[in-house]
Structure 1
Amino acid sequence: MNEQIKYYFIVNKWAGAHHSAQTWERLHQLLVQNAVNFERVVTKYPQHATQLAQEFADLHPQGWVIVAIGGDGTLLEVLNGVRRSKNTVPIGYVPAGSGNDFARAVGIASDPSTALQQLIQTTTPITLDIGAYQNQANQLTQYFTNNIGIGFDARVVYEANQGQKVRLSKWHLESMAYVSALLKTLMRQKGFPLTIDIDGERHEFANAFVVSLTNIKYFGGGVGIAPRANLHDGKLDVVITEKLSFFKFVKLFIKLLRGGKHLDMPDVFFKTGREIHVQAFENEHGQVNGEDLPLQAFDLKIWMTKQPFWFNHKAAASQE
């Protein structure tokens, strides 16, 4: 353990269908037992973690790690707060959400107590790719660790977030919310026109259905949408399918669950790129890091940048 490093924990008590507050109680005991120098704050409302991270990073340029405790959405908020700061501060992450795809992608343990041990045993930061995007309607630049989705996967996220996860959490069946949402969306989601420029090369789709622009291998709680994704190559993986028949979609989904064989299917478009401009011309659901984006027509410019993180280097290397 690096005794000179101090940790600022931002706890989202609503993450993981409200289980993360209980997670913090266990982690607090471990921190005290290991004589870790830390501070803790609990978020009070949506986007509060962004504000807290920015304010703390502005005042503490060195010697601190800002740690998100929650799900991929909490990590998203902390990342955006840190990126808005005048200082560069490494980000740590202890997964306590429903999906935890970033942790899965970089080798952070799914058990929060083990993940905390990994965190405090780290001695130096590791620099990884992150995505940046700008909505051309407002020119606001925002950042993400995982992926941006338009269409099918985004609507699954929307349907699952409509209270189902919380209702099922008392039986620890949050994943069933995604199964229910997937089946509902498969029947209701329609194709839509989409144009995407990848490093200056234009591709047009008349009937887009699944549109995933991803920095990591997973989305939706462990579904391997982009098995070739690499957090060090400076590129996003782009996976698109048009509207398929029910039987073709089932075939695709089975291949997707079998280690990425879906990328070899003729119905799947796959490319990588450093700079992407995507336009969806009809109102569609969107998601970033598993968080809903407002129903809208999309006009996004996306590019890659870097961010220092605080976790075990060997774990990250094993996921490349």
Structure 2
Amino acid sequence: MQARYLIIINPNANNGKCKDTWQLIKNQLDAGKVVYQFRLTEYHNHARLIAEQYIKKYHQDTSFQNILLVIGGDGTLNQVITGAKNIVKQDQRLHEFPIALIPAGRNNNFALEMGISLNWSQALNAALSHTNPHDINIGYYYNNFNRRYHYFLNNMGIGFESNLLNSRQKSHWKWFTNRFHRICRFWDILVNLYEIKEFPLSLVSGVNREQFSKVVWVGIYNTPYFDNNKRFMPNASIKKPSLDIMVMENKNILFVTWAIFLMFMGKRTKLKSVHYYESKSFKINIPSIEYANIDNEELGGHFYNAEFGITTFQFIY
């Protein structure tokens, strides 16, 4: 059966460079007479809506093998997967389309984990030549407070990391930040360390329950990568049907500062105030409003009565 590619492009990915990459890809698709349609995202979470619309429109069309081809980074791919999964949950008559990726974002951690080339031409050739999907493990998060499912390819963070991301998103110095991002990153870390907030946390995995009173950061990992391609959790892997968890306590602000700087350098700390777990499914309860992010995309502030686990999606690579 001939494949039809329903292409979703984030033109703003990688500081707008993805728009130029798309023109090169489009020329190659046209030259090869590939059957495709495309949409450019125009606002945050637009990719999620486009994926939902495509599945609604084409789920009964069996004249082609419909494939969602994402051109962008981890955030765009996350939105497409989330849209596909949520629309199928809402309407059982629908089914998920397999998804392929041409990595073109600033963060391409998922592509690194899957061994997908960061060269757009090689990634495109692989996506066009392979049409048999594989089930790939990803994490899910369900919050009983707002009754919403979220999915993460790489990781989810609550606390310090998300406060840091939130402060970056609100920065009015985008030009300076884009050109001197390393200086700005360490400045943001210092500011957020000065304003660090602690919160209570309950972690339940099976019959085991852990209680913490002064947590500053929780990270849940499906891949080893953290913060722009840094390999931090070496045991985390898409190939495992489990998630890796990191809980950081504030028992000493100097130790916390040291641990966080090590993490942003891509190194794992062995301090006693940093705890590591692995589980197929677990629950987290946080009775205070804390910021969270998924795959480096801001989620905003929430209470957490949350369930975590592993699910799959069909991926072509």
**TM bracket (short chain):** 0.7 to 0.9
- Are 2:274 and 1:299 equivalent residues in the alignment? no
Question: Per-residue deviation at 1:90?
Answer: 1.1
Distance 1:181 1:226 in 2: 23
Question: Per-residue deviation at 1:209?
Answer: 1.4
Q: 1:152 aligns with which of 144, 149, 160?
A: 160
Pairing 1:278-297 to 2, within 5 Å after superposition: 278-297=284-303
Distance 2:265 2:175 in 1: 30
Residue in structure 2 matched with residue 317 of structure 1 by the alignment: none
Pairing 1:210-289 to 2, within 5 Å after superposition: 210-243=217-250, 245=252, 247-249=254-256, 251-253=258-260, 256=263, 261-262=268-269, 264-289=270-295
Distance 1:111 1:190 in 2: 41
Q: Which stretches in structure 2 are left out of the alignment for 5+ residues?
A: 89-93
Question: Per-residue deviation at 1:222?
Answer: 1.6
Residue in structure 2 matched with residue 46 of structure 1 by the alignment: 44
- CA 1:232–1:170: 2 relative to 1, 3 Å: closer
SS in 1 for 2:14: helix
Pairing 1:1-320 to 2, within 5 Å after superposition: 4-61=2-59, 63-83=65-85, 84-85=87-88, 86-163=94-171, 166-168=174-176, 171=179, 173-174=180-181, 177-243=184-250, 245=252, 247-249=254-256, 251-253=258-260, 256=263, 261-262=268-269, 264-311=270-317
- CA 1:257–1:149: 2 relative to 1, 3 Å: closer
- What do the CA deviations read for 1:189-223 (whole angstroms, capped 9, x no partner)? 22221111123421111111121011111122123
Distance 2:173 2:5 in 1: 30
Distance 1:245 1:150 in 2: 19
- CA 1:43–1:233: 2 relative to 1, 3 Å: same
- CA 1:249–1:138: 2 relative to 1, 3 Å: closer
Distance 1:140 1:246 in 2: 34
Total equivalences in the alignment: 307
Question: Per-residue deviation at 1:79?
Answer: 0.5
Distance 1:223 1:76 in 2: 19
Distance 2:251 2:123 in 1: 40
Preserved contact between residue 71 and residue 99 of structure 1 (Cα < 8 Å): yes
Distance 2:215 2:127 in 1: 40
- CA 1:148–1:259: 2 relative to 1, 3 Å: closer
Preserved contact between residue 227 and residue 264 of structure 2 (Cα < 8 Å): no
Preserved contact between residue 12 and residue 69 of structure 1 (Cα < 8 Å): yes
Question: Per-residue deviation at 1:184?
Answer: 2.3
- CA 1:169–1:107: 2 relative to 1, 3 Å: farther
Match for 1:55: what amino acid?
Answer: Q
Residue in structure 2 matched with residue 316 of structure 1 by the alignment: none
Measured on the aligned residues, the alpha-carbon RMSD in Å equals: 2.5
Match for 2:222: what amino acid?
Answer: N
Match for 1:114: what amino acid?
Answer: Q
- Percent of residue pairs identical: 24
Question: Per-residue deviation at 1:111?
Answer: 3.4
Match for 1:42: what amino acid?
Answer: L
Match for 2:210: what amino acid?
Answer: H
Question: Per-residue deviation at 1:175?
Answer: 5.5
Preserved contact between residue 165 and residue 177 of structure 1 (Cα < 8 Å): no
TM superposition outliers: structure 1 runs of 4+ over 6 Å: none
SS in 2 for 1:15: coil
Distance 1:205 1:229 in 2: 23
SS in 2 for 1:119: helix
Match for 2:308: what amino acid?
Answer: I
Give TM-score, length-normalised by structure 2. Answer: 0.86
Match for 1:162: what amino acid?
Answer: K
Q: Which stretches in structure 1 are left out of the alignment for 5+ residues?
A: 312-320
- What do the CA deviations read for 1:88-129 (whole angstroms, capped 9, x no partner)? 211112222222222222222233333323322324222111
- What do the CA deviations read for 1:269-298 (whole angstroms, capped 9, x no partner)? 111111121122222211111111122322
Question: Per-residue deviation at 1:245?
Answer: 4.0
Preserved contact between residue 193 and residue 257 of structure 2 (Cα < 8 Å): no
